[in-house]
Every structure is written in structure tokens, then in C-alpha cells.
């Protein structure tokens, strides 16, 4: 059962894997991309202080950042071992406006409680993403904001996803913005906006090493093309940050 795979994941990835999870984002080769994404999330959230629900928070690195920014944060995850790592991260950060809870985001028990909610890299593990979004809708206050950054089309078939599914029995879905927006609108969310993820914007600007060999003007031209492709096409199926309002 996939949910059991999520629950057992930390125990099965061993000490090195758990240390990686606990040390995020600094333990991850994608640290810069992750911090860029989180910066973008901060820019679309309602200002702190506000009550924020961090869904599928894992080892709680995003929750700690939100708390340090001044939000009153509940981080939730289905895996008790993840929440144990998150508790250790909370203690190390010395923040007291942050609490964690072990529960399933497909059956949340909150009503009209939060000003904001965030799925960062977590909704694509849902067995029933519609139930997860419906629970978040109920958990938000009227006018509350949900922000999602999830992997899009191609994620489920990527080699690392197939390995995770085979070895650990977790769920790995494609979760593109167009699907999130369709489900969210059916539930009652309004004002859906899709932005390129900060990570994709930053990758186009700062990564693409083959462009370093081109003259500046030509590499700028290619980057402009990349930005256009991202803004006009790719953000809806590949690299999108979705902002929804209750
Ligand atoms: C890829 S990890 C991302 C964790 C964290 N957001 C981060 O960026 O490090 C996905 C997380 O979703 C959690 N998860 C999966 N299914 C869940 C469910 N039904 N309810 C709550 N959490 C769930 C997993 O336990 C895991 O911690």
C-alpha cells in the first residue's frame, strides 16, 4: 500500500538518507534551486504574521523558514519518522511559533483555520489529490491562499521516480499546474494564477553551461527564448507555481 511506503520511507533510506532529509536544503545538490523556489513562495504569501499550514512538510525545512519569517506554522506529514526529524530541526532553530502533527493530508481535520497553506514538492505523493485539495480548501479561512510547487509532466516516468516507487512503494505522480488548477476550481478555489517556478527562471538565467561559450548577446537571446517558452507554454505543464484563493 502506497501510504505505508510513505510512512516507512525514512526507516528504509538508512542513516545517510535520513541525514540528507534532515539537512535540507543545504544537504541537497539542488539547494540553490530550492531556496529560489522558497523565495518565490514568500513573495506570493499573505504577509506575516498569519497562520500557515505546511503540507507534507517532511523534515520541516520549509516550516522552519516560514516560522523564522514570523508565520504561525503547523507542519503536517503522514510519516512519524519525518516529523521526528522536523521536531529536531525545530529545536535546533529555536522557534516556538511552529508545531508539527502526524496526519494524512487527504483527511485533514481543520476548518476555517489558516490564512495560507503550502504544498512544496508533496502533493504529487497523494493517492487522491482531489481529496487533499478539498481538505485544504476547508482548512483555509475565506480569502486564504494556497501555494503549490510540484513536479509536472514527466515526473512519474523519470528514472529516480520509478526507483523510488519500486524500492520504497511510495506514490510518484505527474502533478502539473493545469491539473491542480482544474481540480481546485471544481472544489471552489478562485483566482487561480500560474507563475513559472523561481527554480526554472533561475535555471534559465544562471545554469545552462553550454551558453557560457556563446557571445553574451547570443546567450542573452537564447535565455529570452527560454523565458518565453516557460511563460507561454511550460509553466502550465512543467515548471509552475500555482496560487489559489478560497
Ligand atoms: C518529496 S517529500 C517532500 C517533503 C518536504 N515538503 C520537502 O520539501 O522536503 C514528500 C512528503 O510528503 C509526505 N506525504 C506523502 N503522502 C502524504 C499524505 N497522504 N499526507 C501527508 N503527507 C504525505 C511524505 O511523507 C514526504 O515527507
pLDDT in tens, 103-138: 999 999 999 999 999 999 999 999 999 999 999 999
Q: Report the separation in Å between the CA atom of 237 and the middle of ligand 1, taken as the mean of its atom positions.
A: 21
The alpha carbon dihedral of 212, 204, 63, 67 has a sign of: positive
Distance (angstroms) between ligand 1 centre and the Cα of 122 equals: 5
The best mutation among 107, 122, 172 to test binding of ligand 1, ranked by most ligand atoms within 8 Å of the C-beta, falls on: 122
| C-beta 8 within 6 A of ligand 1 | no
Are 157 and 210 within 8 A, CB to CB?
Answer: no
Ligand 1 close to Cβ of residue 105 (< 6 A): yes
User: What is the average pLDDT across 84-102?
Assistant: 98
Predicted pLDDT of residue 210: 86
Residue 77 Cβ inside 6 Å of ligand 1? The answer reads: yes
* β-strand pairing of 190-196 with 140-149: unpaired
Least Cα distance to 135 among 187, 99, 77, 178 occurs for 187
Which cell goes with 171? 506514490
**What's phi and psi for 195, nearest 5 deg?**
-115, 155
Cell of 164: 523510488
Q: Could you read off the pLDDT of 213-226 as tens digits, one per residue?
A: 899 999 999 999 99
Query: Has this prediction a pTM greater than 0.95?
Result: yes
Q: Count the Cβ atoms, other than its own, within 10 Å of residue 171.
A: 18
In the block, which residue shows the cell 505543464? Answer: 237
Please write the tens of the pLDDT for every residue from 152-203: 999 999 999 999 999 999 999 999 999 999 999 999 999 899 999 999 999 9
In 208-237, which positions are buried (b, 16+ CB within 10 angstroms) versus exposed (e)?
Answer: eeebeeeeeeeeeeeeeebeeebeeebbbe
DSSP H/E element including 70: none
Q: Is the CB of 120 under 6 A from ligand 1?
A: yes
Helix (H) or strand (E) holding 161: helix 159-168
Tally of CB atoms within 10 A around 109: 11
Q: Find out if CATH 3.30.300.30 is the number for domain 2-197+236-245.
A: no
pLDDT band at 233 (very low <50, low <70, confident <90, very high): confident
| 145 neighbors 119 (Cβ within 8 angstroms) | no
Residues of the chain with pLDDT > 70, as a percent, come to: 100
> Which pLDDT does position 51 carry in this prediction?
98
Q: Do the Cβ atoms of 106 and 126 come closer than 8 Å?
A: yes
- pLDDT confidence of 1, banded at 50, 70, 90? low
Is the shortest distance between the CB of 121 and ligand 1 below 6 Å? Answer: yes
Say if ligand 1 is within 6 A of residue 24 CB. Answer: yes
- Mean pLDDT over 232-241 rounds to 88
> How remote is the CA of residue 92 from the centroid of ligand 1, in Å?
21
Amino acid at each position: 500500500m502506497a501510504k505505508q511506503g510513505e510512512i516507512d520511507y525514512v526507516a528504509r533510506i538508512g542513516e545517510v538518507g535520513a541525514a540528507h532529509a534532515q539537512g535540507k536544503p543545504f544537504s541537497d545538490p539542488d539547494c540553490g534551486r530550492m531556496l529560489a523556489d522558497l523565495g518565490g513562495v514568500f513573495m506570493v504569501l499573505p504577509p506575516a504574521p498569519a497562520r500557515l499550514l505546511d503540507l507534507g512538510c517532511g523534515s520541516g525545512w520549509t516550516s522552519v523558514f516560514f516560522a523564522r519569517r514570523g508565520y504561525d506554522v503547523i507542519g503536517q506529514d503522514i510519516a512519524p519518522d519525518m516529523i521526528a526529524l522536523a521536531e529536531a530541526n525545530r529545536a535546533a532553530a529555536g522557534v516556538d511559533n511552529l508545531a508539527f502533527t502526524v496526519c494524512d493530508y487527504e483527511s485533514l481535520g481543520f476548518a476555517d483555520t489558516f490564512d495560507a497553506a503550502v504544498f512544496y514538492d508533496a502533493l504529487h505523493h497523494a493517492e487522491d489529490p482531489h481529496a487533499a485539495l478539498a481538505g485544504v480548501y476547508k482548512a483555509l479561512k475565506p480569502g486564504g491562499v494556497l501555494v503549490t510547487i510540484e513536479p509536472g509532466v514527466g515526473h512519474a516516468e523519470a528514472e529516480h521516480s520509478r526507483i523510488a516507487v519500486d524500492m520504497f512503494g511510495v506514490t510518484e505522480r505527474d502533478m502539473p499546474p493545469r491539473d491542480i488548477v482544474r481540480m481546485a476550481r471544481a472544489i471552489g478555489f478562485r483566482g487561480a494564477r500560474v507563475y513559472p517556478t523561481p527554480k526554472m527562471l533561475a535555471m534559465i538565467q544562471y545554469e545552462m553551461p553550454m551558453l557560457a561559450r556563446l557571445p553574451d548577446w547570443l546567450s542573452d537571446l537564447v535565455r529570452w527564448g527560454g523565458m518565453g517558452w516557460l511563460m507561454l507554454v511550460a509553466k502550465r505543464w512543467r515548471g509552475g507555481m500555482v496560487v489559489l484563493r478560497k
